[in-house]
Amino acid sequence: MLRGKFFCVFFCTAIITSFTAGAQSVPREVLRGEVSVELEPVYLLHLGISSPLDKKTADLWALEDSATAFSGMIYGWIFEYEPGERVREISEYISLTPLGRIEMKDDRLRITNASVENEVLYTWCDYNLSGEQQFRMTAWNAAGTKKIKAMGFAPLQGKDGVTDRKMVKEAALEDALKKAIRAELRATQKNRPRMVRGYIALSEFPLYRIFHGNWAAQASFRLRVTEIIPYAAY
């Protein structure tokens, strides 16, 4: 397994650039993203939460989703991915190691604007970057990374009933990440590799929606592959 200490090799010098989300431009030391929280989703009853969702809980969920997205954009993950091989009876596998995390209680994370439309709370959140975090964002936007995207899914209904909202959404995001890497490898590698290692980060806030009993996550990433191991190497 790769270790986080090697991450400094990737995050080398580059020019700090401004970040733009949607139609709203903000200074380069601030990230901004929009999240949506359904105020009357059907799964609330299964979670033991009264409907409609109260404002305090809705705001907390918005901050939770924003903290997850900002963490993925600023820090990202180290990954190890095995595409799998049916003939060799090898299952597809991915391992993700977060390189950092932003907590909901971080005082640099704040809600800046919110509105309700059709029983959905739309919230804009800002995060003020430190100097070190600006350097990380610069590296993610530097040459050598490739932008990829995919849609992932995770079922609301697990073996023990409807599971934790945050865990299911993170599972949908991980599925999107895995599919995006898989599609990129199919497009660029003539032969199926045994294992691929590298770094990956969100390039923008993912879009979530409930679709046929699943959380669906439409996500874009920045990918940097550092090692491709062919089957011949084993």
Residue 155 confidence (pLDDT)? 86
Task: Band the pLDDT of 198: cuts 50, 70, 90.
Answer: very high
pLDDT tens figures, 58-86: 999 999 999 999 999 999 999 999 997 77
CA pair distance 164, 174, nearest whole angstrom? 15
Of 15-19, 170-174, 177-181, least confident by mean pLDDT is 15-19
pTM: 0.82
Q: Percent of the chain at pLDDT above 90?
A: 56
- State which residues form the domain around 34: 4-10+18-233
Residue 42 confidence (pLDDT)? 63
Residue 38 has pLDDT above 80, yes or no: yes
CA pair distance 190, 203, nearest whole angstrom? 27
CA pair distance 93, 101, nearest whole angstrom? 23
3-state secondary structure 24-90: EECCCCEEEEEEEEECCCHHHHHHCCCCCCCHHHHHHHHHHHHHHHHHHHHCCEEEEEECCECCCCE
Q: Percent of the chain at pLDDT above 70?
A: 79
Residue 166 confidence (pLDDT)? 85
Residue 47 confidence (pLDDT)? 60
- Please tell me which residue, 78 or 38, carries the higher pLDDT value: 78
Task: Band the pLDDT of 134: cuts 50, 70, 90.
Answer: very high
Task: Band the pLDDT of 143: cuts 50, 70, 90.
Answer: confident
Residue 151 confidence (pLDDT)? 97
Residue 116 confidence (pLDDT)? 92
What average pLDDT does this structure show over 150-169? 78
SS3 58: helix
Count of structural domains, the chain:
1
pLDDT tens figures, 201-214: 999 999 998 888 78
Residue 13 has pLDDT above 90, yes or no: no
